Amino acid sequence: MIIPRIAFLEVHDGTELPVDFHNQYHTHLYCHRGSIKFLLNDKKLHCKKGEFLFWFAESSISNISFSSNFKASILLVEKKFLYNNVPDQSWSIDAILYSRQFPIKPITNDSDKQKILSNFRSIYDRFLETDHRFYEEALKLQMQIFILEMWHTFANMYERHKRTLQTGTLYENFTQLLQQYCMQEREVQFYSTKLHITAKYLNQVCKNNTGITASEWIQRYTKERIIFLLQNKNLNIAEIANRMNFSSRSFFTRYVKKQIGVTPSEYRKRLEDRNKK
């Protein structure tokens, strides 16, 4: 079955959604009425009227249920198409990680609601315009504009979150530093020095707050970034290794294999094989 790169749906219950949609597509949802409940990484979440929901494709989502009066506008973007057209902005990865952590965002004014719905319609209309002389080029540019517009809509929310972390607890300050530096820094000592504490104490603080040490958090954030960058076919492996401040491609390859079980080349080969199916 050929999976459309983009689909736009006005949904009244879950039956209108494609089978296995949350594995094949990135989901953008604006809830007009009612609510949707689900588990994300075994955490119970609830998106209701006037809220925006974003799910990354292949997220750990289960137990999806809709209220009887549910109504939503939903834009589905095929996972590979979106990843291949993410604008190369300095804060894009941090914004993406923020969306993974906070998939539900309240929409507090009608202007933002209309921007979101207009953005849904613009990208879908461009997708349907197959007779455009420069269809592929125009669609890819529209995809980038779509992402930039969504980032713009939620930029203030993201910045408020950053400021909250900056004035928060020691653990929250650590996560802020981690978001800022983990592309280049992967040692606990770097972060503990920034926080003016010992590496042992930072590990203890993280363990007490989350059950996970600072070292494990660093590995998780780094792994997330590596996977995201490997999904961008516009970057070769040497460029990714350089972006992440690895001393050589061979060292990067060994690190990736330790973190995700396969080399960067093997990971990309698996992606290609899966997308061919």
Distance CA 122, CA 140 (A): 13
Find the DSSP H helices in the chain: 21-24, 79-83, 92-101, 110-128, 135-166, 170-181, 188-194, 199-210, 214-230, 237-243, 249-260, 264-276
For 111-115, the CB contacts below 8 A with 24+ separation are 112/153, 113/30, 113/50, 115/149, 115/153
| Dihedrals phi, psi of 18, to nearest 5 degrees | -60, 150
**Per residue in 51-86, pLDDT tens?**
999 999 988 888 999 999 999 999 999 988 988 888
Distance CA 46, CA 35 (A): 7
Task: Output the pLDDT for position 276.
Answer: 67
- pLDDT beyond 90 at 273: no
**Per residue in 129-174, pLDDT tens?**
999 999 999 999 999 999 999 988 888 777 776 666 555 578 888 8
Helix, strand, or coil (residue 80): helix
- pLDDT beyond 80 at 98: no
Task: Report the predicted TM-score, pTM, of the whole model to 2 decimal places.
Answer: 0.65
Q: With 0-12 CB in 10 A as exposed, 13-18 as middle and 19+ as buried, what is 207?
A: middle
- pLDDT beyond 50 at 1: no
Encoding tokens for residue 175?
A: 């996560």
Task: Output the pLDDT for position 23.
Answer: 87
Distance of CA 110 to the CA centre of its chain: 25
- Tokens 């992967």 sit on residue: 186
- What type of residue sits at position 38? F
**Angular region, 20: left φ>0, alpha ψ -120 to 50, beta rest:** left
**How high does pLDDT run on average in the chain?**
87
